[in-house]
């Protein structure tokens, strides 16, 4: 088995994909307030900036800016996942995970990519914005309620839907 070693970069801007264990579930949008609170508490306890965020029914894409001198996004994801999962009924959990005493809502790992430059950051923000359209959830990104485009001052109406290559 290969051993993945994460980059040892502090203060990085990082793109993430985090998924539920059961793809096709809609738990994240059904329980979006629970997710928001888990993120809010974690951000309060362990500061990080949010460049972009999209919550889809069974996965999340987001871009974080970590503080200077800090690279521990894994701890932040552990807290967000645990805080979200705490108190959910056992029926929301996979039987194989319940048998091992695990919460079992999330995939065990997440995918991350360290952003190299401003052009890549802009491309990844557009990727977050266009993702609900790509998944057939809405026809325009601004129609998806669980998307940071709504709070992003850089957004201009129509700019997202006319982008290509996202």
CA distance 137 to 54: 12
Cα–Cα–Cα angle for 150, 151, 157, rounded to 5 degrees: 45
Say if residues 15 and 63 touch (Cβ distance below 8 Å): yes
What secondary structure letter does DSSP report for 140?
Answer: S
Q: Are 52 and 148 in contact (CB under 8 A)?
A: yes
pLDDT score for 152: 59
Q: What is the reported pLDDT for 98?
A: 55
Q: Looking at residue 153, what is its pLDDT?
A: 45
pLDDT at 79: 96
Per-residue pLDDT of the chain (166 residues; tens, 9 = 90+): 555 556 677 789 999 999 999 889 999 999 999 999 999 999 999 999 999 999 999 999 999 999 999 999 999 999 999 999 998 876 555 555 555 545 579 998 899 999 999 999 999 999 999 999 999 999 999 899 999 876 654 545 455 444 434 3
13-150, superfamily in CATH?
Transposase IS200-like (3.30.70.1290)
Q: Are strands 49-55 and 111-114 parallel, antiparallel or unpaired?
A: unpaired
Decide if 43 contacts 35 (C-beta within 8 A). Answer: no
- Give dist(CA 87, CA 85) in Å, integer: 6
């Amino acid at each position: 088995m290969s051993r993945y070693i994460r980059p040892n970069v502090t203060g990085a801007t990082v793109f993430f994909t985090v998924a539920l264990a059961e793809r096709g579930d809609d738990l994240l949008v059904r329980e979006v307030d629970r997710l928001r609170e888990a993120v809010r508490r974690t951000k309060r306890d362990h500061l990080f900036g949010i460049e972009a965020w999209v919550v889809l029914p069974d996965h999340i894409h987001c871009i974080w800016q970590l503080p200077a001198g800090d690279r521990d996004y894994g701890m932040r994801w552990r807290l967000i996942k645990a805080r979200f999962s705490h108190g959910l009924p056992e029926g929301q959990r996979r039987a194989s995970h319940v048998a091992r005493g695990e919460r079992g809502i999330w995939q065990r790992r997440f995918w991350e990519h360290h952003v190299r430059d401003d052009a890549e950051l802009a491309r990844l923000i557009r990727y977050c914005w266009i993702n609900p359209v790509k998944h057939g959830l809405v026809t325009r990104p601004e129609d998806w309620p669980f998307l940071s485009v709504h709070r992003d001052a850089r957004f201009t109406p129509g700019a997202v839907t006319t982008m290509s290559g996202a």
